[in-house]
Structure 1
Amino acid sequence: MMICSYNILTIDDDPTILDAYASILIPYQKTSLEDAVLQLEELHNIERSDIEPIEKSMNFKIYQANNGLSGIDIFLQKYKEGLTIPVCIVDMRMPNGIDGLETALRLKQIDPCVHIIIATAYSDRTNKEILDALKNNTYYIRKPFNSEEIYQLVYSLSLSYYATKTIQQLNNDLELKIEEELEKNRQKDLLLFEQAKLAAMGEMIGNIAHQWRQPLNILSLLFQKIYFMHKNNSLDAEIIDSVQNQAMDTISHMSQTIDDFRGHFEPNKEKVYYDLSSVINSTVTLLEPSFNLAGVSIEMSMQDGIRLYGFADDLKQVLLNILNNARDAIVSNKIADGKIILKTMLMSDAQEVFIKIDDNGGGISEQNINKIFEPYFTTKHKSQGTGIGLYMSRRIVEERLNGTIAASSVNQNTSFGILFPITTSLKDTDGK
């Protein structure tokens, strides 16, 4: 049988009691004479009339102290050395220094997991007082005690101590592993946000190209006009002023497009009050050129005066993802009369706002409708979609807007609903 070794601290002002603990806890070892007698009895089949001592499976290393303070010093020294003492047997009444209760309290301050066995014949404190003070892992025995009970109690408490320590270590390791995984997920989310942002920037660059096409054509015509009029000697100051004014207006419009684009992708560093309709209008304005080119119309029905508090760019990002997906679905399914309908409204309790976006882009299959908010899921070709737009939209709505987002598909039509709370004033001062 394998013998396990654990450290035990016994504290008592009576040396005979300390020796008694040692004799109880130190494994019984047969003498050479006892071994010879046993072999002789086995050889002659002699039945023994006496009872052998119980074989003990745990080898305790005993540390002894004759008062509370010296016991605490031993316990602390071993603790600093990395040697744990799972069980301490403490006498309650010790005339020199501190009593057993105070000793036990100080031991628990060093190692809260230590098991305390209070042993005494008389006590100035009640059992309830002792147990209330020491809380958990405290046991009470009276002298004179049964040797086998002492051994079994110390044995079971030692096993319990190391089982608890093992579980604590496993929990610590698990918490560390969880934190590492959470950090990995945070980094992954940051990467997804950046990918989503880059994908949206790609969309917006395309929109800028569409918005600039007409102004560039106007500038080209103005330059040609000046050239031909100069060639025909018909160019005068009035015409130059007129062309200059038209050119400057066109360039100003192009500059405003850049400002709108830059403002959309420069995230707000602080929360602000913003008007919901204004945010939606500015987002749709950025998309209109590409939508017009694709033959997709956007109809809006918005309740005025809804003011929110937060990061407006979060909502813009969600709207961009949903609207761009709707346009792509309409184009991909070759819908002749592509249409998107966007509505906003306050709920009946005036504490939540609801945004509904419908499109007739062919709908979403039943097998895919429950997957569209998963990361990297897309029904588009790899060159057209990354599968992170709607996933990030869900994350933004749930984590940044404290709301919910859902999708449904009926009769080749797709509908997205966004519901989130508002905690600010709902109406403008003009009573809208």
Structure 2
Amino acid sequence: MELTTHILTIDDDTTILDAYASILSPYKRTSLEDAIMKLEKLHDIDCSAIDGGEKVIDFHLHQANNGLEGVEIFRREHEAGNRIPVCIVDMRMPNGIDGLETSMRLKEIDPDVNIIIATAYSDRSNKEILECLKSNIFYIRKPFNNEEIYQLVYSLSLSYDATQTIRCLNRDLERRVEEEIQKNRQKDALMLHQAKLAALGEMIGNIAHQWRQPLNIISMLFQKISRHHKNGTLTDEIMAQSLADALQTIQHMSQTIDDFRGQVEPNREKVTYILEDTLKSTINLLEKSFALSGVRIEADISAQIRLYGFPEDIKQVVLNLLNNAKDAILSHGIVEGVIRVDASITDDNRLRLNVCDNGGGIEEEVIDKIFEPYFTTKHKAQGTGIGLYMSRRIVEERLGGTIGASNTPGGACLTLDLPITDLLQG
């Protein structure tokens, strides 16, 4: 296999340049060597030191009599896309610039170029040369050994090509990694959007359940006022009481809207909040619609656990876990469904939050997969498989904790374990 490599030699002595050209010319086997190889091939033997499959580099030589000319050749070839991996530079050149200045200008064009300093005498110390050129600097003394020059140029050429190949592969790898990161970000954004749409659908249904009873109350108040008016028994007292009841009911409906708005458009500023109040407000959003499905929510939360952070994160996670537990209860046909929420501070000062149900539990072969994206045991028309995945993301990335699942007698338990960072116990 033959490779073509550009080499630049710079020396004010033309005899030296001719010597480089002779040394770096392609190796040609003699007629005797060719005859020996043919004889070996004919008799199927392999005892010769001659390598018929040796990788040969065809050195394409560029020559310059001074540093300025050499730099110009190097620049021209570099701009044309012909990389020159090795330059042999004489240190003492009386006309123009010396070898050190020449090498510095070459490295400005290609920092990876290998510089071979060829000199018998130098006005510069090795330390000064190294400090100026930093790396990829090699030395040969005049008069030089022909084989030493060939092997050095050969090795440095291969090393340069390998370095460029690795860099190209790394750039390609970085590009692919960045593409995958962008794809994952887009996927996460899509999943978050789907989760919000699913949550919004749940909330609209819960609003309908929450408002059904208040609307019935207001309707009965109007009927009461209308009946008393027709009978002529509408007194100021009855009117004032009916108005007070109506206003109280409307206030309750308005508070419900505020609670749901907090779920859809959460406040992104950290605040100090009481965990019990936050969890109970979340439960209040769901308990009426759950009751219509035959599911009861019970809460046992240590009083006055105060947290500092984003209460909407806890609300979103608990909301997902409650809805998931209700679906499990209904899918297993449990007549009297119960979901129990409890929160406490552990002995090692961590917040432990459990959401447990009597919905039949989780099959052991899938219990380790329930937090994976798009994994669901429900019919595809009933679940997207992103609720628990988004819950895990919130717990791990925003709350700095962990979430796990385990089976209990008759059901399953989802457990949040949160660190005491930003946590206060009142």
**Paired letter, 1:371:** K
Q: Structure 1 residues 261 and 11 mapped into 2: Cα distance closer, same or farther (>3 Å)?
A: same
CA contact (8 A) 2:112 2:160 kept: yes
Q: Structure 1 residues 194 and 121 mapped into 2: Cα distance closer, same or farther (>3 Å)?
A: same
Matched ranges for 1:308-319 at <5 A: 308-309=308-309, 311-319=310-318
Q: In structure 1, what is the equivalent of residue 43 of structure 2?
A: none
Query: For each residue in 1:85-107, what CA deviation from the matched residue of structure 2 results, as whole angstroms up to 9, or x when unmatched?
Result: 11111223334555434443443
Q: Secondary structure of 2:424's partner?
A: coil
Unaligned residue ranges in structure 1 (runs of 5+): 43-51
Q: In structure 2, what is the equivalent of residue 26 of structure 1?
A: 25
TM-score (norm 2): 0.86
How far off is 1:389 after superposition?
A: 0.5
CA contact (8 A) 2:295 2:326 kept: no
How far off is 1:129 after superposition?
A: 6.1
TM-score (norm 1): 0.85
Query: For each residue in 1:186-205, what CA deviation from the matched residue of structure 2 results, as whole angstroms up to 9, or x when unmatched?
Result: 01111101111111111111
CA contact (8 A) 2:344 2:352 kept: yes
Q: In structure 1, what is the equivalent of residue 295 of structure 2?
A: 295
Q: Secondary structure of 2:365's partner?
A: helix
Question: Quick one: which of 348, 366, 369 aligns to 2:367?
Answer: 369
Q: Structure 1 residues 136 and 406 mapped into 2: Cα distance closer, same or farther (>3 Å)?
A: farther
Q: In structure 2, what is the equivalent of residue 339 of structure 1?
A: 338
CA contact (8 A) 1:89 1:116 kept: yes
Unaligned residue ranges in structure 2 (runs of 5+): 39-49
Query: For each residue in 1:10-36, what CA deviation from the matched residue of structure 2 results, as whole angstroms up to 9, or x when unmatched?
Result: 122322212221222233689xxx99x
**Paired letter, 1:298:** E
Q: In structure 2, what is the equivalent of residue 150 of structure 1?
A: 149
In structure 1, C-alpha distance between the alignment counterparts of 2:346 and 2:396, rounded to whole Å: 18
**Paired letter, 2:288:** P
How far off is 1:215 after superposition?
A: 0.6
Q: Structure 1 residues 110 and 344 mapped into 2: Cα distance closer, same or farther (>3 Å)?
A: farther
Q: In structure 2, what is the equivalent of residue 329 of structure 1?
A: 328
**Paired letter, 1:302:** S
In structure 1, C-alpha distance between the alignment counterparts of 2:303 and 2:92, rounded to whole Å: 80
Q: Secondary structure of 2:26's partner?
A: coil
CA contact (8 A) 2:295 2:339 kept: no
Q: Which moves more between the two structures, 210-219 or 75-84?
A: 75-84
Matched ranges for 1:6-25 at <5 A: 6-25=5-24
**Paired letter, 2:334:** I
Query: For each residue in 1:251-301, what CA deviation from the matched residue of structure 2 results, as whole angstroms up to 9, or x when unmatched?
Result: 221122112111211033444444333322221221221222223222222
CA contact (8 A) 2:283 2:297 kept: no
Matched ranges for 1:65-144 at <5 A: 65-96=64-95, 98-124=97-123, 130=129, 134-144=133-143
How far off is 1:176 after superposition?
A: 0.8
Q: In structure 1, what is the equivalent of residue 418 of structure 2?
A: 420
**Paired letter, 2:159:** S
Q: Secondary structure of 1:278's partner?
A: helix
Q: In structure 1, what is the equivalent of residue 212 of structure 2?
A: 213
Between the two proteins, the alignment pairs up a number of residues equal to 408
Q: In structure 1, what is the equivalent of residue 224 of structure 2?
A: 225
Q: Structure 1 residues 344 and 90 mapped into 2: Cα distance closer, same or farther (>3 Å)?
A: farther
**Paired letter, 1:296:** R
Identity of aligned residues (%): 61
CA contact (8 A) 1:193 1:392 kept: yes
In structure 2, C-alpha distance between the alignment counterparts of 1:359 and 1:122, rounded to whole Å: 88
How far off is 1:121 after superposition?
A: 2.2
- Is 2:203 aligned against 1:167? no
In structure 1, C-alpha distance between the alignment counterparts of 2:291 and 2:314, rounded to whole Å: 23
Q: In structure 2, what is the equivalent of residue 241 of structure 1?
A: 240
How far off is 1:225 after superposition?
A: 1.5
In structure 2, C-alpha distance between the alignment counterparts of 1:323 and 1:111, rounded to whole Å: 63
CA contact (8 A) 1:276 1:308 kept: no
Question: Quick one: which of 350, 353, 359 aligns to 1:355?
Answer: 353
How far off is 1:410 after superposition?
A: 3.1
Query: For each residue in 1:148-200, what CA deviation from the matched residue of structure 2 results, as whole angstroms up to 9, or x when unmatched?
Result: 33223222322221222122112111211111111111011111011111111
Q: Which moves more between the two structures, 311-320 or 331-340?
A: 331-340
Q: Structure 1 residues 354 and 96 mapped into 2: Cα distance closer, same or farther (>3 Å)?
A: farther
Q: Which moves more between the two structures, 226-235 or 252-261?
A: 226-235
CA contact (8 A) 1:27 1:56 kept: no
How far off is 1:60 after superposition?
A: 2.2
Q: Secondary structure of 2:352's partner?
A: strand
Question: Quick one: which of 394, 397, 414 aligns to 2:395?
Answer: 397
